[in-house]
Amino acid sequence: MHYLDISIIVLYLFLVLSVGLYTRNYINDFSGFMVAGRKVGLSLSVVTMLGTELGLITVMYNAQTGVNGLFASFHIGLAAFIVTLIVGLSGFVITRLRRLQVKSIPEYYNLRFGKDVRILGAILLCLGGILNMGLFLKVGAIFIQSIFGLNDNAILIIMSCLLILVLFYTISGGMISVIITDYIQYIILSIGFLISIYFSIKHLGWSDLFIDLEKIVLSGNGKINDVNQIYNPIANKGFAYVSWQVVLGFVSAVIWPTAITRALSIKSVDLVQRQYIWSSFSFLIRFIMPCFLGICAFIYFNGNVSDSSLTLFPKYLASILPVGALGIVVAGMLAAFMSTHDSYLLCWSSIITNDIVEPILGYKLSSSKKIYIARFIILLLGLYIFIWGMFYEGSDAIWDYLGITGAVYFTGAISVVVLGLYWDKASSKGAILSLLGGFSAVIGLEPIRNALGINLDNPSYIGLGSLFLTILLMIVGSIIFPDNKQNKII
């Protein structure tokens, strides 16, 4: 890397750390630390929702998906766009949750079903979510290693430096720090994407891009050897996989805590639907743009994926971007890394504090104690993602890993949240059975599949099966074990 590129990256990191220290002064209570005091406006909320969900892990797994699935992979972004737009137009789930003025989904569990459901739901949420982010740090380190051309021994050093950086400013400023830095990161990342796409098209040629891709596929390079599979997701992955992406689109917009926290942080109920309508376009962009760059990397290297498909994208950027542009793009990718890690660390630590520790203790903690506990948990989570990244061994695509680990939480959460809000006979026993049923999705994790002798290239079958099981358990459990009296929030 040229010194100019390194200077741009260092300048950006200094800016982010300064913001983290400055915003520390605005944290007065736990509500400010967790949901920014519910004072976030529409524009900032939309931008930070994109900033949170468009992390370096997102860029890397979408680029990997583009390398492996080519243009057929665009259906993932299309599914997320359509589902988020429908939610925004209808207000499905999000407006009802915002009216309840809860800070998290487990807090909603408490209002609707009671303390036991809240604690169980929070434990499964954190288990699935923490497993889900277990590879974030390692994937970010792989990006830095690949783009700088460093050897494998540098991975642990890179992971350590990245972790210290993100822990420092997440602990300092809470949600206010996260939202402000997400806004900055969104701008830098957007510029980085535009630069990368411009030089990709300039280098490969727009019309030649499609011609060369079909030639590579017909030549037998890569995993696909049928031209129809380049563009047709069902031919490429199958109907079950496409259906699973629709479920994941709903989860990423409505059920996943880091996204729903944005809806719960916004100023008023009226703005929530507009937030989702505008955010639907960002959900489309966050999938398609890095996926397109992954396809460009596949073409540039002539379909030769001798190395990991995960490293092809950063090597491609290092090959095509000129001095200065490379520094801006890497700064943008570091921005993406930071924006996801800060939001996820804050989300899980706040939920553990608010929805597990306090209910178990049985008395209300002061805001200062809650913030202290949340910050301590952030440190523990940082240690976990470092250790998990070092020792986890698996060959599943990152997107498939994220989907199945998240399913441990969200398959049960979909049933409990949706039926709890819209079905007056939903009971606490049904909710408990449904949440426990969602834990069955852990079977889809690759090491567990291997230990059980389950030979599946696509864990989406297990995810869909787990979702159907949780719905069934919620309905049957509520009918067999009804609550003595209807909860008032219905």
Q: pLDDT, tens digit, for every residue of 214-268?
A: 888 887 665 666 777 788 888 778 888 889 999 998 988 888 877 777 667 666 7
The mean pLDDT of the chain is 81
CA gap 123, 129 in Å, rounded? 10
- At residue 87, what is the residue type? V
Question: CA-CA distances (angstroms) from residue 151 to 72, 148, 216, 405?
Answer: 33, 9, 29, 29
Q: Using the 8-state DSSP alphabet, how is residue 252 labeled?
A: I
Query: Which of these, 258, 352, 312, lies nearest to 55 by C-alpha position?
Result: 258
Residue with tokens 């996820």: 344
SS3 310: coil
Q: Which range, 30-34, 101-105, 191-195, 304-308, has the best average confidence (pLDDT)? A: 191-195
Top-confidence residue, 471 or 24:
471
Out of 209-213, 250-254, 338-342, which region has the weakest mean confidence (pLDDT)? 338-342
Q: Is the pLDDT of residue 330 over 80?
A: yes
51 band by pLDDT with thresholds 50, 70 and 90: low
Q: Is the pLDDT of residue 332 over 70?
A: yes
CA gap 400, 117 in Å, rounded? 28
φ, ψ (nearest 5 deg) of residue 273: -65, -40
The answer to whether 33 and 374 are in contact (CB under 8 A) is yes
Query: Which of these, 85, 53, 71, lies nearest to 296 by C-alpha position?
Result: 71
Query: Which of these, 116, 167, 150, lies nearest to 481 by C-alpha position?
Result: 116
φ, ψ (nearest 5 deg) of residue 40: -85, 130
Q: Is the pLDDT of residue 186 over 80?
A: no
Predicted confidence at residue 446, as pLDDT, reads: 84
Q: Using the 8-state DSSP alphabet, how is residue 266 labeled?
A: B
Question: CA-CA distances (angstroms) from residue 6 to 18, 148, 279, 325?
Answer: 18, 11, 33, 11
Q: pTM to 2 decimals?
A: 0.81
Task: Give the percent of the chain with pLDDT over 70.
Answer: 83
The answer to whether 323 and 5 are in contact (CB under 8 A) is yes
Q: How many CB atoms neighbour CB 153 within 10 A?
A: 8
Out of 333-337, 420-424, 473-477, which region has the weakest mean confidence (pLDDT)? 333-337
What pLDDT, in 10s, does the model give residues 166-178? 777 676 655 556 6
The pLDDT of 388-417, averaged and rounded, is 86
- Count how many residues are written for the chain: 490
Name 414's Cβ contacts closer than 8 Å, sequence gap at least 6. 247, 250, 251, 255, 467, 470, 471
Predicted confidence at residue 34, as pLDDT, reads: 46
159 band by pLDDT with thresholds 50, 70 and 90: confident
